[in-house]
Amino acid sequence: MDVLKKVPVREQDAKERATNFDEVCLGYNMEEAMAEASRCINCKNAQCVKGCPVAIDIPGFVEKVKEGNIEAAYQIISESSALPAVCGRVCPQETQCEGKCIRGIKGEPVSIGKLERFVADWARENGIKPVCAAEKKNKKVAVIGSGPAGLTCAGDLAKMGYDVTIFEALHEAGGVLVYGIPEFRLPKEAVVAKEIENVKALGVKIETNVVVGKAVTIDELMDEEGFSAVFIGSGAGLPKFMGIPGENSNGVFSANEYLTRSNLMKAFNEESNTPIMRGKKVAVVGGGNVAMDAARTALRLGAEVHIVYRRSEEELPARVEEVHHAKEEGIIFDLLTNPTEIIADESGWVTGMKCIKMELGEPDESGRRRPVEVKDSEFVMELDTVIMSLGTSPNPLISSTTEGLEVNKWKCIVADEKDGKTTKEGVYAGGDAVTGAATVILAMGAGKAAAKGIDEYLSK
């Protein structure tokens, strides 16, 4: 074996997977995992840990994998992460742990993400559970939202002995893990539901169908229902639209709607009671991970799919792996292209999208080169479906119903990065609700920091 290279991970063939919703990446087996783990040189001053938002003891667990003691590896990961099977699948390791790996200086870094996934999957298949709190503290904490931030915060607090209840607005727990990320990247029953079961096994209660800010306010939770502290992890759920003419035509969807129908409501399955538009030719506007998810979902539902993005490939905000997978499956990338109008027939159904070609100019405040329109380059793409994937912003439902909770001009809750403390006493926040749309693991890091912050507050 070439020690400079990762042990390759098995994947479903691109042609085959383009027609099904089964998981793309098949993961390592024991032999492959142990071989990959042996590439770790167990650095004294491990850089990978510094790259991990939840600071997993990476050399520690990899060492155990090397020995073949997967249960011990799992317990090491569980000390820091409540959702290892999820993180092993959706974390952008290339910019985090693996991006800092010393092995990566010459050759490829250790495949930390795939090892984490292997350990978590093995533990699940072998019925290994995380260890519960030894001593109960007699204090109640409410967690709003059951996405990555909320689950992590709740799990950590439960391990410390707090009595934790999660309030979820939808009918199912998991937040973006169930409504946003598709089955073929993150299996719902086999992986997400099981990780949530593990959080519940720590003693966390989950009450679904509660829209905090409508059914009950944060003040009521604290004053009437006896919660001593609250963590807000309500995410960034509001979709953005472009504001171009024709955007309300039939056949234009937010990526949120399209993905929620497919993932949460299982509309990809023909037996589902929830309908979804099965277009013939679909444009997904945007270049992030969500755009890739929407595009690959539409492809699997039988469409020819185009990613329409106004900058060039280099600026695509999506993970390299996602772009690579999308291309393999046959998604067409129309880069340096910006929609200006949606065209519909007389009954209001989309028939096309007017676009203009772009070129890259001087760098803007984000440091990326600003796309500028190429004169007289307008053209029409014929389509029947357009999916807008332009990012999301936090839902003001909670901030607008909670007095004393400060938000910034983007409606993001103002919270201390260190401990999640907000401007309201006893109320903490983290994840996309604070940062705007980001990644699963950053939200988990924030949930973790807030759990510590809440513990300090309640221990005073």
Partner 1 sequence: MYKIIKKRELTTNIYLMEVEAKRVAKSCEPGQFVIVRMDSEGERIPLTICDYDREKGTITIVFQTVGAGTKLMADLQEGDSFHDFVGPLGCPSEFVKEDLEELKKKKILFVAGGVGTAPVYPQVKWLNAHGIAADVIVGAKTKDLLILEKEMEAVAGNLYVTTDDGSYGRSGMVTQTIKDLIADGNQYDVCVAIGPMIMMKFVCLLTKELNMPTIVSLNPIMVDGTGMCGACRVTVGDKVKFACVDGPEFDGHAVNFDEAMRRQQMYKTAEGRAVLKIEEGDTHHGGCGNCND
User: Binding pattern to partner 1, positions 253-292, x when CB under 8 A?
Assistant: xx-xx--xx---xx-----xxxx-x---------------
The residue behind tokens 């439902």 is 397
- The answer to whether 73 contacts partner 1 (rule: CB under 8 A) is no
Q: What's the min distance (Å) between Cβ of 202 and partner 1?
A: 24
Pick the binder of partner 1 from 46, 91, 169, 441 (CB under 8 A): 169
Euclidean distance between CA atoms 317 and 319, whole angstroms: 7
Calculate helix-pair angle for 30-37, 58-67, nearest 10 degrees: 130
CA 267 to chain centre: 20
Task: Name the minimum Å distance from CB 302 to partner 1.
Answer: 13
233 binds partner 1 (CB under 8 A): no
Give whichever of 29 and 272 is closer to partner 1, judged by the CB atom. Answer: 272
- Of 45 and 273, the one with the shorter C-beta distance to partner 1 is 273
For partner 1, which is the closer residue by CB, 247 or 341? 247
> Which of 8, 330, 348, 361 is the binder for partner 1 (CB under 8 A)?
348
Q: Which of 170, 173, 221, 308 binds partner 1 (CB under 8 A)?
A: 170
Query: 435, 446 in Cβ contact below 8 A?
Result: yes
Among 108, 247, 321, 373, the residue binding partner 1 under the rule CB under 8 A is 247
Q: Given the DSSP bridges, would you call strands 337-344 and 350-363 parallel, antiparallel or unpaired? A: antiparallel
Joined together, the tokens standing for residue 287 give 């270049």
Nearer to partner 1, 60 or 436 (CB): 436
Q: Read off the tokens for 301.
A: 């539902």
The conformational region for residue 302 under phi > 0 = left, psi -120 to 50 = alpha, else beta, is: left
Question: Residue 436 in contact with residue 452, Cβ under 8 Å?
Answer: no
- Confirm or reject binding of residue 403 to partner 1 (CB under 8 A): no
| Nearest Cα residue to 101 out of 33, 31, 45 | 45
Q: Counting contacts by CB under 8 A, is residue 237 touching partner 1?
A: yes
Could you say whether residue 402 binds partner 1 (CB under 8 A)? no
Q: Output the DSSP codes for 328-385.
A: HHT-EEE-SEEEEEEEE-TTSBEEEEEEEEEEEEEE-TTSSEEEEEPTT--EEEE-SE
Q: Which of 15, 129, 214, 324 binds partner 1 (CB under 8 A)?
A: 214
Tokens in use for 54? 């939840």
Contact predicate 89/95, CB 8 Å: no
Output the smallest distance, CB 253 to partner 1, in A.
7
* Contact (CB, 8 A) for 388 and 285: yes
- Cβ 456 to partner 1 shortest distance, Å: 31
Q: Which stretch binds partner 1 (CB under 8 A): 153-161, 204-212, 289-297, 331-339?
A: 204-212
Q: How far is CA 413 from the centre of its chain?
A: 19
Quick one: 58 or 267, whose CB is closer to partner 1?
267
Helix and strand counts by DSSP (H, E) for the chain: 17, 18
Number of residues that bind partner 1 (CB under 8 A): 36
Nearer to partner 1, 29 or 400 (CB): 400
For partner 1, the binding residues (CB under 8 A) are 169-171, 179, 208-211, 214-216, 237-239, 241, 243, 247-248, 250, 253-254, 256-257, 260-261, 265-266, 272-275, 277, 347-348, 395, 397
